[in-house]
Structure 1
Amino acid sequence: MDEPKVTGTKPKMSTTRKILLILGFLSTLAAIALITVAVTQNQPLPKNIKYGIVLDAGSSHTNLYVYEWPAEKENDTGVVQQVEVCKVEGPGISGYSQTTEKAGPSLVQCLRQAEGVIPLKQHQETPVYLGATAGMRLLRLENKDAAEKVLSSVEKTLRSAPFNFQGARIISGQEEGAYGWITINYLLGNFKQSGWKKFLHSLKSVSETSGALDLGGASTQITFVPDEISSESPQNLLYFRLYGKDYRVYTHSFLCYGKDQALQQKLARDLQSTENSSLFDPCFHQGYQRTISVSNFFKNPCTSVEKKQFPFSQLHIEGEGEL
């Protein structure tokens, strides 16, 4: 009997087996896809967040604020959230009128704190801005050269920080009042509405907002939406468009009527009726003591109208309040 011939070809794969292999391969791909989708859905999508830094240079101290907001605006207005605040050590920048070169370096610690809050890759694109209020407005009236040197020192420090410097300037009393009014009504939710409130909000010709009375150290601002325009003060009206709605706002700043400067004016008037170098004041608690230079005291524009000749150069103040 002849032996069967052995050839070099393998038996052909059946059509059924091919189909089963293809289906198995597709099932594996489907499983991988499902797992990938599940993992992706459990991971938060990257946020497109922007950051900004504002330094509020008041008369008695400076605060640094870090804000964040989504890159997409709502009705052409950003939805801002405060994420960090840092109180700068020492006095307000106007307090460096005698040592102007120290004004800028006083901000360094808080700037470094901001560096730790904002992602490193966003430092260069993050705007930083300083607005100085009534303390610097008074210093500019008293000594313009010193005010300019303080701002120059501040600008030098801010430019050396790894952020996008946008400016450092003395804002007007109107601006200060308007910014305070916007902040208050933003936090109260009077601008950004939802649901039925949003619908009713869009129907109103004048939105319901709250007035703002800002008692600072060197000035006081009052700001509100008036029912009608006063013919005697049209220069005190400002206009804003926020979240798709227009606002007409009255604002006025009273320089020298902040808490600290009002007290200075009160002391200046008390000096008119004293003949010795000691003054007992019920506005201060018992045990409080302070000595001031009379000549420096009356350099202040808020007290200079009360200036006269005194037989002493130093005034010693003692508290006698009962609280």
Structure 2
Amino acid sequence: MKLGGGPADSQDVAKQKKTWSRKVLFILGVLFILGIIALIVVAVVQNRPLPKNLKYGIVLDAGSSHTNLYIYQWPAEKENDTGVVEQVFECKVDGNGISSYYLNPVDAGHSLQSCINRAQKIVPDRQQKETPVYLGATAGMRLLRRSSPMVASEVLTSVENVLRSSPFDFQGARIITGQEEGAYGWITINYLLGNFIQELSQSKSIRTSGALDLGGASTQITFESNENIESEENSLHFRLYGRTYDVYTHSFLCYGKDQALRKQLANSITNLQNASLLDPCFHSGYTRNLNTTELYTSPCVSDRRTLAAPPSIRIIGTGDYNLCKQKVQEIFNVSHCSYSRCSFNGIFQPILQGEFGAFSAFYFVMDFLKLSKEKVSLDTVKETVVRHCSKPWSEVKNESGKVKEKYLSEYCFSGVYILTLLELGYGFNSSSWEDITFLGKIHGSDAGWTLGYMLNLTNMIPSELPLSPPLSHGGYVGLMVFFSVFLLFILLTCWLSFRKPKCIQKGII
């Protein structure tokens, strides 16, 4: 009997080996491709850009002449417990300020609806329920509360109802104090100028800038002082970015530019002999009919009401800077002071220190007079205001473009008033005037109290842990090493299977 397989058996074995080799090659190939895919997927998922973990906040500035809605955003991971806040949207509410709706308070809330609708398109749907919305009413509502507390309450209730019915997280609508308005404006200015952030990267303290705010019904001055603040109500303390700040602040109600004009007119009417008033604070050739009943509705001048005043007065402009200055100076009382030093009306004020940012109406008036782009001397400002006041009304209208007549007609008074307020009221002189910078927007954000308000409120919003990749660093490295070794193992197996070294090959018979 012949032992051993014949040629046919050898061919079968060769075929089986070849078939087995193809199967192994196929399996190894599949495993190799899966390994590459897994390696790529882990790398991509781990290293893809993380979504922005942003928070949003909404603040409505309900001023005396108008209301603005601002949307702010900041990263959820805060820096030294204070969010890095930036303005991303602004909406000006149609109509006048909410205090103007005293005859029909319900309309005050309805006036906000259009801007609320626009805000819903800015804040992502999934975040609207957690986005806080605040309304802060300033001097206009402070005056309305003084004259008609019940009406002021009804106006606030109206805006509360509208804001509460929005998809946002309504946190409250209230009348903020003058000190708050001034202090939050100071925070805004220094935040936008980078004074808080710079202190974090430098060992020495950065000098903050003072804030000068001028609205329609009030004006505020706020600055950091190293003097003893003799009146406690003018002293405020803040903690921002890990440092405590002590600042002086005061708000002068009834000394916004609109109420100041009322005070000047009320003083002029007191000695009026007929129904015509020659007013040096308006341009020559300009006339305006003034309803005295409406004039005295403001608490700022209600005590000056005179029975001899006619119901309607015709104002005739004469455009005389010096006479206008005299009339404006009459509304400031600088003769009485029970402290070591005062600004006006017996209010304590320490010595002016450092640079100042002037915004709101300060900026708008100076910008109209083309005095806001660069620092100019006090004499240059005076010369510009004198020149503007001396222009006939017809010339002013031809040069103005599309500025509303009410605003255009009052720039002469406003320029004189700002000069008087800063010089006679606050004590700026030719030297310190150059420390003032007139500010509108800084890095895309409006200069005003609302950003400071939002910035301060972020101290009460819990910070969150930063978003992190799906795998820890150790887990990511471990997987990358595992799949890399796995691929190398497959490649080595393939090489050993189809290109065996001599030392492991079978002997040839």
Give how far 1:208 is off: 1.1
Counterpart check, 1:119 vs 2:124: yes
Bigger strand fraction: 1
Give how far 1:41 is off: 7.7
Aligned with residue 288 of structure 2, among 290, 311, 321: 290
Give how far 1:310 is off: 1.8
Give secondary structure in 1 for the equivalent of 2:197.
coil
Aligned with residue 93 of structure 1, among 98, 107, 110: 98
**AA matched with 2:181:** E
- Give the whole-Å Cα distance in 2 for the aligned partners of 1:94 and 1:35: 62
**AA matched with 2:218:** S
Aligned with residue 130 of structure 1, among 108, 130, 135: 135
Give how far 1:30 is off: 3.9
Gaps of 5+ in 1: none
Residue aligning to 2:269? 271
Preserved contact between residue 272 and residue 309 of structure 2 (Cα < 8 Å)? no
* Structure 2 CA distance for partners of 1:46 and 1:306, relative to 1, 3 Å: same
Alpha-carbon displacement from aligned partner over 1:49-85 (angstroms, at most 9, x marks no partner): 1111100011111110000111111000000010000
Residue aligning to 1:175? 180
- Give the whole-Å Cα distance in 1 for the aligned partners of 2:234 and 2:27: 79
Preserved contact between residue 292 and residue 309 of structure 2 (Cα < 8 Å)? no
The TM-score normalised by the length of structure 1 is: 0.88
**AA matched with 1:265:** K
- Give the whole-Å Cα distance in 1 for the aligned partners of 2:203 and 2:28: 58
Give secondary structure in 2 for the equivalent of 1:192.
helix
Give how far 1:39 is off: 5.3
**AA matched with 1:198:** S
**AA matched with 2:305:** K
Segment of structure 1 superposing worse, 130-139 or 291-300: 291-300
Alpha-carbon displacement from aligned partner over 1:69-117 (angstroms, at most 9, x marks no partner): 1111100000001000011111111111112111110111111110111
Q: How does 1:1-323 map to 2 (within 5 A)?
A: 11=16, 20-21=25-26, 23-33=28-38, 35-36=40-41, 40=45, 44-193=49-198, 198-201=201-204, 204=205, 207-230=206-229, 232-286=230-284, 288-321=286-319, 322-323=390-391
Alpha-carbon displacement from aligned partner over 1:159-211 (angstroms, at most 9, x marks no partner): 111111100010001100111000000000000127xx71324xx4xx41001
Segment of structure 1 superposing worse, 178-187 or 148-157: 148-157
* Structure 2 CA distance for partners of 1:298 and 1:22, relative to 1, 3 Å: same
Gaps of 5+ in 2: 1-5, 320-389, 392-509
- Give the whole-Å Cα distance in 1 for the aligned partners of 2:159 and 2:126: 24
Structure with higher RCO (Cα < 8 A, 6+ apart):
2
- Give the whole-Å Cα distance in 2 for the aligned partners of 1:131 and 1:76: 23
Preserved contact between residue 66 and residue 93 of structure 2 (Cα < 8 Å)? yes
- Give the whole-Å Cα distance in 1 for the aligned partners of 2:86 and 2:223: 23
- Give the whole-Å Cα distance in 1 for the aligned partners of 2:288 and 2:113: 31
**AA matched with 1:224:** F
- Give the whole-Å Cα distance in 1 for the aligned partners of 2:287 and 2:41: 72
* Structure 2 CA distance for partners of 1:116 and 1:317, relative to 1, 3 Å: same
- Give the whole-Å Cα distance in 2 for the aligned partners of 1:281 and 1:52: 46
- Give the whole-Å Cα distance in 1 for the aligned partners of 2:315 and 2:38: 80
The TM-score normalised by the length of structure 2 is: 0.57
- Report percent identity of matched pairs: 60
- Give the whole-Å Cα distance in 1 for the aligned partners of 2:280 and 2:35: 83
- Give the whole-Å Cα distance in 2 for the aligned partners of 1:311 and 1:228: 47
Give how far 1:296 is off: 2.9
Give how far 1:285 is off: 3.5
Segment of structure 1 superposing worse, 134-143 or 277-286: 277-286
Bigger helix fraction: 2
- Give the whole-Å Cα distance in 1 for the aligned partners of 2:99 and 2:214: 18
- Give the whole-Å Cα distance in 1 for the aligned partners of 2:135 and 2:302: 29
Segment of structure 1 superposing worse, 244-253 or 10-19: 10-19
